[in-house]
Amino acid sequence: MKNKISVAILGLGRMGGAHVFAAKASPYIDDIIGYEPDKERAELRGRELEIKATHNLDDILSNPDIKLIYIAAINEVHCELTVKSLEAGKAVLCEKPMGETLAEAREMMDAQKATGGFLQIGFELRYSKMYQTVKDWIDQGLIGTPVNCQCRYYCSEFHLKNSWRSNSSGTLIGEKLSHYLDLPRWWFGSPVKNVYSLSAPNFVPYFNHSDNHQINYKFENGAISVLNFIMGIAETDYDDPLLEILEKQADDGHYLQYHIVGTGGAIETDVFRRRMRRWKFTEDEKQLRSEIVETITYTKEDDTEWMHNTVGQNIAIAELVAKGLPPGSSAHDAYETMKLCYATEISEKESRIVPLSEIK
């Protein structure tokens, strides 16, 4: 195949391994090199993932054959690695969050503008069939004008004691919940006007950040969206090989659902039931009537493609870079989601409604 490229993956942890898997699956990639700053770990992970690996970042940045860099390293180096990669002339896919601070996010934006380079942030839910179907239904006008979006996300505590995530001084908003704040922005197609968020005292005592959030935000067109997140309420998973995990979690306190209501109908997505549904509204002389008119289900073999399609995202981005095309979604659009995340954090700290116009 023409237009094959070489790629590098910075950070070879769990997420880096997923990037390696996707790169091996891409018909547009002919060579993969990994990077870890520690020499022994680089050699170990290289062997485990069956790729070349280096502990010298310059080996990657100075290599003219490497056209695309996937950044899967820890959050605190997202900005530094992105700026260096762009300045070296590489296309970049960086995992979210887009920097640990808004200043870092702006620095990444400035580097993209200065170099004219390819920069996309890893909001892979936009590549997942469940959420793409929501977008398609809304764009087709099947629920009229969307006006209200509710997301309920309850899970078990899986970050564990003394992990970098549980010890992080940053909140879960940018690290985890940015995905679920980003989707309504994408679906509704309207700028966010303001946000008001609350968090209760922790019940996970060893977290350095909140384990719960109630995030309310309003769009310029008048629509609203709510994200209700609690980490810890669902039953702990012990990886029982005799149990199919989502079937168990569908009724043990796990929830990851959206309900999007429009002037002509509604949509439900339900990850743990592997199901999505659409309602149609009609009005007669007595009342507004609602009818379920479409139901979609999928099997566990399709989980990744339907609910968290990192592989599909990475393959798509490799194709774009190989063909010299622009990003699937702009760095500026990702920055708008990160602005919402940072405004949410300010709202919780200062107990007030925060207009997005405050966040530059």
Q: In 3-state terms, what secondary structure has residue 314?
A: helix
Angle at 306 between CA 304 and CA 308, to 5 degrees: 50
Please, where are the H alpha helices in the chain?
Answer: 14-25, 39-49, 57-61, 78-87, 102-115, 129-139, 164-167, 172, 178-188, 245-249, 303-307, 310-322, 331-350
CA 40/CA 53 separation, integer angstroms: 10
| Selection from 81, 88, 100 nearest residue 10 by Cα | 81
Other C-beta atoms closer than 10 Å to the C-beta of 83 total 20
- Enumerate domains of the chain plus CATH numbers: 5-122+310-329 (3.40.50.720), 126-297+339-355 (3.30.360.10)
Residue 70 forms beta bridges with which residues?
9, 93
The pTM score is 0.92
List the pLDDT tens digit at each of the 360 positions of the chain. Answer: 568 999 999 999 889 999 999 999 999 999 999 999 999 999 999 999 999 999 999 999 999 999 999 999 988 899 999 999 999 999 999 998 888 888 999 999 999 999 999 999 999 999 999 999 999 999 999 999 999 999 999 999 988 899 878 887 778 898 889 999 999 999 999 999 999 999 999 999 999 999 999 999 999 999 999 999 999 999 998 776 667 888 888 889 999 999 999 999 999 999 999 999 999 999 999 999 999 999 999 999 999 999 999 999 999 999 999 999 999 999 999 999 999 999 999 999 999 999 999 998
Helices 102-115 and 331-350 pack at an angle, to 10 degrees, of: 170
Q: What is the pLDDT of residue 1?
A: 55
- The predicted structure's pLDDT at residue 164: 78
> Residue 128 carries which DSSP code?
S
User: What is the predicted pLDDT for the residue at 245?
Assistant: 83
Report which DSSP code applies to 175: I
Measured CA angle at 298 (ends 297, 300), to 5 deg? 140
